[in-house]
Amino acid sequence: MTIELYTWNTPNGRKISVALEEMELAYKVIPVDITKGEQMAPAFLAISPNNKIPAIVDPDGPEGKPVSIFESGAILLYLGEKTGKFLPKPLAGRIPVYEWLMWQMGGFGPIPGQVHHFIALENEQDRAYGLKRYMAETRRLYGVLDRRLAAHEFVAGELSVADFAILGWAWRHPRHKVDLADFPNVKRWYEALMARPAVKRGMEAKLDWVRRAL
């Protein structure tokens, strides 16, 4: 049965398209044009109470009943549980996946997202403080990731949903004004993931190719 992916072409949206491709799950994209405010529509609110993309509707949820899930981290954990892929069964193996997924959700997403905001401002005075603050913290987070990957092929040891979550934001490193050559372990990890056929399909999936009123 086909999962409905409500999304737009953003780092958080890419996390889910990559995961769906890697998990070999059938899905269809239902674009939610956040530039037009479609995420505020009542129909989407019923799926995503926080009015944020992405969200999914799985017609074959627990006990075979339809279920909707919002928040990209929750979606990744749900898909990992559903398929048994990229989420270790032993608790000891899950701990680093949880840690690095929460690291992404709490830091390596909100902080680079502030860079996205301030870098788009036209007034140089308005831009200056925000960029100085958030670019410095963004680079610190890249450094944290680089140190972790110095000793691990993937962030939690084996490839997991945590990698997909982080990749969605590392994909925007040019917009963060970050040269991955400054973080060689991140560069190695990033290039290895981007070379995977399923990741490539997930990154190339059309998440914003039609206008759709909800």
Residue 126 amino acid letter: D
Mean pLDDT of 112-129: 86
Residue listed under structure tokens 């939690």: 156
The model's pLDDT over 29-41, given as tens digits with 9 standing for 90+, comes to 999 999 999 999 9
pLDDT digits (tens, 9 = 90+) for 11-24: 999 999 999 999 99
Residue 118 near residue 131, CB atoms below 8 Å: yes
* Residue length of the chain: 214
25 has pLDDT over 60: yes
Output b/e per residue, 127-160; b: 16+ Cβ within 10 A: eeeebeebbebbbebbeebbebbeeeebbbeebb
Q: Identify the sign of the CA torsion 93, 96, 99, 102.
A: negative
Q: Which amino acid, one-letter code, is at 2?
A: T
Q: Which residues, 6+ apart, have CB-to-CB distance to 110 below 8 Å?
A: none
For 166-192, what is the mean pLDDT?
97
Q: pLDDT grade, residue 213 (50/70/90)?
A: very low
What tokens does 12 get? 């958080």
pTM for the structure as a whole: 0.89
Residue 128 pLDDT exceeds 90: no
Query: How high is the pLDDT of residue 211?
Result: 44
Average pLDDT on 100-115 reads: 95
CA–CA distance, 31 with 9 (Å, rounded to integer): 9
Percent of the chain with pLDDT over 90: 87
| Coil vs helix vs strand at 76 | helix
Residue 210: band (very low, low, confident or very high) from pLDDT cuts 50, 70, 90: low
Mean pLDDT, range 50-76, rounded to an integer: 97
